[in-house]
Amino acid sequence: MQTSFTPAQLADADIREADGILRKCVHCGFCTATCPTYVLLGDELDSPRGRIYLIKHMLETDARAPATPARHLDRCLTCLSCMTTCPSGVNYMRLVDIARERMARGLRRPAMERMLRALLMRLLPRPGVFRLALLGAALARPFKALLPGRLGVMAAMAPKRLAPPSAVDRPQVFPAEGARRKRVALMTGCAQQVLRPSINEATVRLLTRLGCEVVVAEGAGCCGALAHHIGETAAAEAAARANVAAWERVMAAGGLDAIVVNASGCGTTVKDYAFLLRHDPVWAERGARIASLASDVSEVIDDLGLRGVRPMDNRPRARVIAYHAACSLQHGQRVREVPKRLLAEAGFEVREPAESHLCCGSAGVYNILQTDLALRLKERKAQRLAATGADVVATGNIGCWSQLQGASLMPVVHTVELLDWATGGPPPPEVSPFVGTSASVGS
Ligand code: SF4
Ligand code: SF4
C-alpha cells in the first residue's frame, strides 16, 4: 500500500512504525473472510482492510476527532484473526494500537460513554473493588430492565454466585514438590481472581506438582490490557511498569525461568511490554526482558512435560472436551496445538468446533461496549460448541470463560483445571457432578 506521510510526520517514531506496517499491505482482502465483524456486518469498513485504509487516512491527515474511523475501530475486537490470515505479515495489532492511542487524544466521546469507560477502568483492575461491584450488581439483577443503557447489561452479566477470595492470590512462594526444576512467577491477574479463583489454584497445584517453585510477586497486578485497548495509554503503561518492577525484584531474589500467565488476553499484552513501554527507552528495555520470560501456562507445562497422568481406571472416565481457542492465544500468541495436545495426553478426547478461528465476542470489555455484536458472536460460538457433542468446554482465557459460561449448556472450564484434575487435583467445580464411580477422585 502506498503511503504519503511528510518528512515531518515521519520524524515521529509511531508514524514511522505505522508507515512500515501499512506498506506491507497489498490490499488482497484475504483477511476479510476471517474477520468476525465483516462476517456479521458485510461492510468493508468493518473489515481489516477497510480499517487499515481508515487508519492510513486518519494518520496521514492528522485527523483530530475522526468520528468514522472511531466507529469502525471501536467495533474491531482486536481478535487478530486477520494477522493469522494475512500472507504479507501486516502487524495489525501494532497499527491499531497506534491508531487508538491517537484517537483517544482527539476524540470526545458522549458523556455516558466516557463515564462507562471510566467506571470499567476503575473497577476491573482492582479485585477488591470489582468484587464489591459484582455483589452490588447481583443485588441489582432483578431490576436490570430498569437500569439505564449498558448498566442493565452489566447487571445481567454479573455471576449469580462468587467464590470467596483465594489464599493463593496473596504474595507468597509455593515450594516445588520434589526436586526443583524451575522457578517461575505466576501472574495472578485481576478480574480472574474474582470471577474464577479455581484457575490460579489449579495452576499452582499443577506447576508445583511438575517441579516448579511458584512465586506470586508482591506489587504485581493487572497487566494493563484493559486500559491499553481503550486507548488509556498512561494507565496501561503504569500497570506494565508496576509488573516489570515486581518481577524484576523476584528475579533479583533468586532468578526466574518464566513468568507464567494463565489468562491469554493478559499474556498477549505482557509479551508485548517492550512495545507498550516504547515511549521510554529504559522502560522499553526492561519491558523487553520481562516479555522474553512471559509464557502461556500451556507452554510451560509442555516444556516440563505432563507427568503423573492417572491411569484411566483410577480416575473418572475420559471426558469429551470441546476446545475453544481464545483469540489471544491462537492469533495473538500463536499457541495453537499445545493446549489440545496436552488435553489429549491427559486422556481427554478433544474436539474442535467449526469456525474455531472466530472470536466469541468477549474481547476484554467489548461485550460491554459493543453489546449487540458481542451477543451475536456469543450465540454463534455457543451453537458451534454445542454441535461438537462434547461434555465440557475448555478454554485458556478468563474473558472467553466469562462470555461462554452463560451461553453454553456445557460446563466451561480452564484448560489447566482439566490438566490438574487428570494429574491428581480435584475436578473443576462444575465438572464434579459428572464424576463417575471413582471414589478416590477429588483430593
Ligand atoms: S482484529 Fe479481528 S475484528 Fe479487528 S479487523 Fe482483525 S479480524 Fe477484524
Ligand atoms: S490479508 Fe494482509 S495484505 Fe491482504 S488486505 Fe488483509 S492486511 Fe492487507
Q: Which residues line ligand 1 (CB under 6 A)?
A: 35-37, 48, 51, 76-82, 92
Q: What is the pLDDT of residues 38-54, one digit of tens each?
A: 999 999 999 999 999 99
Q: State the DSSP H helix or E strand holding residue 301, giving kind and residue range, or none if neither.
A: helix 297-304
Query: Percentage of the chain surpassing pLDDT 70?
Result: 93
Which ligand has the minimum distance to the alpha carbon of residue 76?
1
Average pLDDT on 405-416 reads 89
Q: What is the pLDDT of residue 46?
A: 97
Instruction: Answer whether residue 435 shows pLDDT above 60.
Output: no
Q: What is the pLDDT of residues 261-319, one digit of tens each?
A: 999 999 999 999 999 999 999 999 999 999 999 999 999 999 999 987 776 555 555 58
Print burial letters for 333-353: b (CB count within 10 Å at least 16), e (below 16): bebeebbbebbeebbbebebb
Closest atom, ligand 1, to C-alpha of 31: 7
Ligand 1 midpoint to CA 47 (Å): 7
Q: State the DSSP H helix or E strand holding residue 198, giving kind and residue range, or none if neither.
A: helix 198-209
Ligand 2 midpoint to CA 363 (Å): 22
| H helices present in 36-171, as ranges | 36-41, 48-60, 67-75, 81-85, 92-106, 111-123, 127-140, 149-157
- Closest protein CA for atom 4 of ligand 1: 76
CA distance 254 to 239: 23
Ligand 1 pocket mutation pick from 78, 91, 97, 362 by most atoms within 8 angstroms of CB: 78
pTM assigned to the model: 0.92
- List the beta bridge partners of residue 393: 322, 412
Query: Percentage of the chain surpassing pLDDT 90?
Result: 72
CA distance 421 to 316: 9
Q: What is the pLDDT of residue 116?
A: 86
Cβ–Cβ < 8 Å for 419, 342: yes
The contacts of residue 320 (CB under 8 Å, 6+ apart) are 348, 349, 351, 388, 389, 390, 391, 392
- Comparing 50-54, 170-174, 223-227, which segment has the lowest mean pLDDT? 223-227
Residue 442 CB–ligand 2 contact under 6 Å: no
Smallest Cα–Cα separation from 344: which of 258, 291, 422, 264?
422
Instruction: Answer whether residue 334 shows pLDDT above 60.
Output: yes
